[in-house]
Structure 1
Amino acid sequence: MTTAPWKTPYWPEGVPHEIDDYNMPLFQLLDDAARDYPNQAYTIFNDATRSFAQVKETADRIANFLHAQGIRKGDRVAIFLPNLPHYPAVYFGILKAGAVCVTCNPLYTPGELNYQLNDAGAKALFCMDHPQFYDTAGKAIRDTSVETVVICNVKSYLPWLKGFLGGLLGKIPHAERHAPGHLMFDDVLAGADPAPPEVTIDPMEDLALIIYTGGTTGRPKGAALTHSNFVYDLKGLDAWARLVHEEGGSPEGIRRGGYHCYLGVLPWYHSFGMTCAMLSACASGSRLVCVPDPRAGDPPFTEVLKLVQKHRPTLMPAVPTIFVAFTNHSLLDQFDLTSLMGCFSGGAPLPPEVCKRFEEKTGAVIFEGYGLSETAPVVTANPTFKDTRKIGSIGFPLPGTVLKILDAETGQTELPQGEDGEVAICGPQVMREYWNKPEETAEVFREIEGNRFFLTGDIGHVDENGFVVITDRKKDMILVGGFNVYPREVEDILFTHPKVALVAVVGIPDEKSGETVKAFIQVNPGETCTEEEILQFCKENMAGYKRPRQIEFRDAIPVSAVGKVLRRVLRDEESKTA
């Protein structure tokens, strides 16, 4: 596939239009970092660090262990862990064994986890030594193919004194009892050689990961992604990021070998946190702060603010609700957050007002991007400079990625620039298929001009300057009396109200207009607000058909484990009360 340069006068200077050299196994990133920066810290957890050389050795031992357990190329191994320092070693160890990672949300119920393990056909599982997580895993593996369970205790990666005192005082979480045959992580490492099996990987064809979508349209589907899907995305992000590292300096790529520190505030089971924090830190030889629970502290998110002040991270990928939590934190002014240089926003649309507030309070620059679980995940990104980005847009396609706007009915006809349609993607980061779901796979792919395009389900357009703008999810669009209302547009306006902390807009049935707009609002701490106040604000700031007819105030807006506002949950609640 050949691509032409994206048509825009704002393409970042120094960024190529093509990316090559991504035909390599994903675990080679760790091997290269361990070779080039063996003593450089990779993970930071409770003041304990693990170097790239140490993580590589652990990954090699895990690969050796899995091979001894009968795990072979193409077999699936599940990870049921929060953001612990075990995670990168387990992840790369699975890949070094030739197996496929299946990353699982640690907040899953037994039924949800059981479905995923069965659907993927997982043969082994790594889980946390914790009363809740281990109990969930024990129930979930019943009637599955899982034969090997490895239990990971946090004591393995605590400084000696903290580990000793924590064990003495009973502060280290652990399950009360372990089932016979389940193995402890430390014992596994002690009994395995640091010699991974010899496995031949075809990066373009062999799977590295099966990651499950949120299931907003039914049962979750497993997006099956290859090694090269991720390597391309990492190389594309590396080429895209242009940062000024010293005052008065010139823009340059991300510095390597420990200059940068990533804040691992997003979960690594999710493709955004996985690629843009855990894997990106490895690819650049950078430090990675492990944050198992970003909401920890009183008030929530206090502990993560302490980590920012202590470890001075420079880069933070996050979703908009994280930026909201930072800017609305009652103790924010007590912490020094000036180390943050660049923040990559994704996972959900970034309201312009949220971007403005965060940058004013921290001095960092937020560059918004766009992606999906099916695309490893990054597809587009804004320039990393305030003077050339466009807030409210998702920027331009990564080098080597082709983006088209197609008609939303058939997904076959390309629409003129400026016209809204379904966003379709063709590029090296696009998944191979939905795992064991050929019909669902066929539904989301179209062949156009000899290339295979993935239909994203998102509605958007390309503006006059070449910036891609997501209008909304196709299924979230509200039809009011024949007019299209995009929830994101209404939410962006409501976010400018000084009392609004978080907002979600959905369509509800209406006899006269077919649908009408309802807004769910969470106000800033310490504020009070009335329905009349919001309705008057809407009257002054948006067209009549877009205005919410109903306002409901909530103490909390439902969000997913990665911080996405769950409009579908609100719609489901509305349908039950109708």
Structure 2
Amino acid sequence: MADQTNQANTASGTWDTPFWPEGVARNVTNYHYPVFKLLDDSAAAYPNQVFTIFNGAKKTFSQVKETADRIACFLAKKGIKKGDKVAIVLPNLPHFPEIFFGIMKAGAIAVNCNPIYTPTELKYQLADSTAKMVFCMDHPTFYPNVVKAAIDTDVETIVACNIKSYLPKLQGFLGGLLGKIPKADHHEPGHIMFDDMVARSKPEPPDIDIDPVNDTAVMLYTGGTTGIPKGAELVHINFTYQVVAIMEYLRLSHDQNKPLEKAYYGGYHCFLGILPWYHSFGISVAMLCAAGSGSRLVCIPDPRTGKPPFTDVLKAVQKYRPTLMPAVPTIFVAFANHSKLDEYDLSSLMGCFSGGAPMPPDVCRQFEEKTGAVIFEGYGLTETAPVLSANPTNREIRKIGSVGFPLPDTDIKILDLDDPTKELPRGEDGEVAACGPQVMKGYWNRPDADAEFFVTIDGKRYFLTGDIGHIDEDGYILITDRKKDMVLVGGFNVYPRDVEDILYTHPKVELCAVIGVANKHRDETVKAVIKLKKGQTATQEEFMAFCKENMAGYKRPRIIEFKDDLPVSNIGKVLRRELRDAHSD
């Protein structure tokens, strides 16, 4: 497994383009420290500044740090040592940052798990990671699922987190009185309540020697779309670099009369925590960027709540006035098409990060027209903590449909699909490979996977992303598609995103996905699955005609299916694999 010091210094730090955003450094420094220093530094600089906001209740940076210190003390007393795994099975609750930083302070490794996973799915991650402790929500479903999942694993301790103490006092009192605060029907003997644990622990974290370049901080399991889920081992500098690089790259106009400048620190900004923090996008671009910049962080456990769905998050935007919102395209779609959007004031939003899936250009335009915010699309993977590249935040040089330029100190190459040691010239599609301080150490206990997904070029270690793309004449990176999603039609390669981008220009389309399905000729047929906007109706013939008018013959969907909903992952990616599995001739 390659030394992270070598990896951190492999990127050239330059990118040949005349459109590099003005004032943004090509190289960044000062990120070689443990992740918890992001919290500690902000607590020292802005002790009384609000950090987390949940249902109106607020915690300052000094309060969050103190709780994290108490958790670290508790972990040490329970025998958790450096390198041990501690699982977090929580939605975006205010407990999450406290637990996350507490684990870091104890020298342990956080294993972030999706709280809505079934016991079988959770058991795999708990067993594979060898987690010794789990923090989960005190909830009638989440808690018993964790209890079942922990059977026959290395888990020795389960800590249940109830939200009552994190609500405003009156709300917590009334909720408890009326039985509206979620909690498990019963707790197993020996299990620990979070509030009791914090109260009984001292804010005295153990003295642990952390090597931020080589010590694993977080283990995140990949989605498993190409096989059994793998644990990506991410070291401390993977995340601290992300915060420094993102905040360097980010340029905003803090006032209509001001030019673009670096984002302000110390409480000016507010991040909307709409993305799950068990995913690298939500961790880095929301939770950790907020912590590192001394900004507020609004905890949104489930953005889909409300009638109609997503109404509650619109209310939160109006109430808490967030300035920055990392999200995935399906969330932007939901906002842009929300029937009550005009009833809410979203003018506080300055910048919106988009990632996790390709952003259809028409959706970007719709959202910006309705909110006034600027969307800058980025690109990355779980294995890269996650951001590799991003569009400039300057509207004049941003190129919609691209993912911009590599972050400082990041190098991206386009490699031949058949020979991953051969770099392709600009304009040619190939596999995207990345090298930089954000690239993971490797896969947990999977040297076979490391050998498959890493390649050495000129002495530098590049991660093979599995994505197909190219670099255009201006230096912008364009992601064409996933290798596995490419559709072969009569010898021609059809990239689903190309077809989807055209379908999104149809005024009736809210969400769509394109897949390849087998046919009798032993190649594939293009199929489009479409969710129409509310109140719209359409026929297959109508869309066949639209496709004939707007795309080449081999790209046109020969099968069109309308659905009320499309399957999406927990971070909002449309799951093409599920659509392929569900297809019937």
**What residue in structure 1 maps to residue 389 of structure 2?**
380
**Any idea what the Cα deviations from partners look like across 1:355-413, whole Å, max 9, x if unmatched?**
00000000000000000000000000000011110000000000000100000113110
**What residue in structure 1 maps to residue 364 of structure 2?**
355
Residues of 1 paired with 2:549 and 2:522: CA distance? 22
**Any idea what the Cα deviations from partners look like across 1:507-542, whole Å, max 9, x if unmatched?**
011223711100000000011111111111001100
Residues of 1 paired with 2:556 and 2:197: CA distance? 59
3-state SS of paired residue (1:122): coil
8 Å CA contact 1:481, 1:513 repeated in 2: no
Instruction: Report matched runs for 1:508-547 at 5 Å.
Output: 508-512=517-521, 514-547=523-556
1:390 aligns with 2:399: yes
Residues of 2 paired with 1:80 and 1:503: CA distance? 31
**What residue in structure 2 maps to residue 268 of structure 1?**
277
8 Å CA contact 1:480, 1:513 repeated in 2: no
Matched letter for residue 117 of structure 1: L
In structure 1, list runs of 5 or more residues that go unmatched: none
Residues of 2 paired with 1:197 and 1:4: CA distance? 37
Matched letter for residue 402 of structure 2: S
Q: Which of 28, 40, 43 matches 2:52?
A: 43
**What residue in structure 1 maps to residue 168 of structure 2?**
159
Q: 1:171 and 1:373, CA in 2 relative to 1: closer, same or farther beyond 3 A?
A: same
**What residue in structure 2 maps to residue 18 of structure 1?**
27
**What residue in structure 2 maps to residue 442 of structure 1?**
451
Matched letter for residue 362 of structure 2: E
1:370 aligns with 2:382: no
Residues of 2 paired with 1:570 and 1:258: CA distance? 44
Q: Which of 64, 77, 81 matches 1:72?
A: 81
Residues of 1 paired with 2:496 and 2:379: CA distance? 17
3-state SS of paired residue (2:261): coil
Deviation at 1:2, TM superposition (A): 5.3
Q: Which of 250, 253, 272 matches 2:259?
A: 250
Matched letter for residue 217 of structure 1: T
Deviation at 1:4, TM superposition (A): 4.8
**What residue in structure 1 maps to residue 509 of structure 2?**
500
Residues of 2 paired with 1:156 and 1:114: CA distance? 29
**What residue in structure 2 maps to residue 86 of structure 1?**
95
3-state SS of paired residue (1:131): coil
Matched letter for residue 47 of structure 2: P
1:339 aligns with 2:348: yes
Q: 1:524 and 1:190, CA in 2 relative to 1: closer, same or farther beyond 3 A?
A: same
Matched letter for residue 309 of structure 1: Q
Matched letter for residue 19 of structure 1: V
Q: 1:429 and 1:295, CA in 2 relative to 1: closer, same or farther beyond 3 A?
A: same
Residues of 2 paired with 1:395 and 1:374: CA distance? 19
8 Å CA contact 1:405, 1:423 repeated in 2: yes
1:116 aligns with 2:137: no
8 Å CA contact 2:497, 2:514 repeated in 1: yes
Residues of 2 paired with 1:396 and 1:90: CA distance? 34
Matched letter for residue 533 of structure 2: N
Deviation at 1:251, TM superposition (A): 1.4
Deviation at 1:218, TM superposition (A): 1.2
8 Å CA contact 2:13, 2:408 repeated in 1: no
Aligned length: 576
3-state SS of paired residue (2:262): coil
Q: After the TM superposition, which segments of 4 or more aligned residues of structure 1 sit over 3 Å from their partners?
A: none
Matched letter for residue 491 of structure 2: G
Matched letter for residue 455 of structure 2: R
Deviation at 1:254, TM superposition (A): 1.1
1:284 aligns with 2:302: no
Residues of 2 paired with 1:113 and 1:254: CA distance? 38
1:149 aligns with 2:158: yes
3-state SS of paired residue (2:252): coil
Residues of 2 paired with 1:141 and 1:293: CA distance? 25
3-state SS of paired residue (2:425): coil
Residues of 2 paired with 1:333 and 1:247: CA distance? 22
**What residue in structure 1 maps to residue 211 of structure 2?**
202
Matched letter for residue 58 of structure 1: T
1:140 aligns with 2:149: yes
Q: Which of 481, 492, 516 matches 1:483?
A: 492
Matched letter for residue 16 of structure 1: A
**What residue in structure 2 maps to residue 318 of structure 1?**
327
**What residue in structure 2 maps to residue 224 of structure 1?**
233
**Any idea what the Cα deviations from partners look like across 1:551-574, whole Å, max 9, x if unmatched?**
000000110011000001111112
Residues of 2 paired with 1:332 and 1:530: CA distance? 28
Residues of 1 paired with 2:401 and 2:34: CA distance? 35
Deviation at 1:243, TM superposition (A): 0.5
**What residue in structure 2 maps to residue 301 of structure 1?**
310
Matched letter for residue 134 of structure 1: Y
Residues of 2 paired with 1:162 and 1:453: CA distance? 51
Residues of 1 paired with 2:218 and 2:382: CA distance? 11
1:27 aligns with 2:31: no
Identity %: 65
8 Å CA contact 2:74, 2:201 repeated in 1: yes
8 Å CA contact 1:63, 1:96 repeated in 2: yes
Residues of 1 paired with 2:293 and 2:498: CA distance? 37
3-state SS of paired residue (1:518): strand
3-state SS of paired residue (1:471): strand
Matched letter for residue 193 of structure 2: M
Give the TM-score, by structure 1 length: 0.99
Deviation at 1:250, TM superposition (A): 2.0
8 Å CA contact 2:260, 2:394 repeated in 1: no
1:52 aligns with 2:56: no
8 Å CA contact 2:242, 2:385 repeated in 1: yes
Residues of 2 paired with 1:2 and 1:296: CA distance? 43
**Any idea what the Cα deviations from partners look like across 1:417-463, whole Å, max 9, x if unmatched?**
11000000010100001011110111000010000000000000000
Residues of 2 paired with 1:490 and 1:342: CA distance? 28
**What residue in structure 1 maps to residue 436 of structure 2?**
427
Matched letter for residue 43 of structure 1: T
1:470 aligns with 2:479: yes
Matched letter for residue 564 of structure 2: D
8 Å CA contact 2:431, 2:468 repeated in 1: yes
3-state SS of paired residue (1:228): helix
Residues of 1 paired with 2:501 and 2:11: CA distance? 37
Residues of 2 paired with 1:494 and 1:410: CA distance? 33
3-state SS of paired residue (2:23): coil
Residues of 2 paired with 1:8 and 1:431: CA distance? 27
Q: Which of 177, 185, 190 matches 2:194?
A: 185
**Any idea what the Cα deviations from partners look like across 1:269-288, whole Å, max 9, x if unmatched?**
00001111011100110001
Matched letter for residue 251 of structure 2: R
Matched letter for residue 328 of structure 1: N
**What residue in structure 2 maps to residue 404 of structure 1?**
413
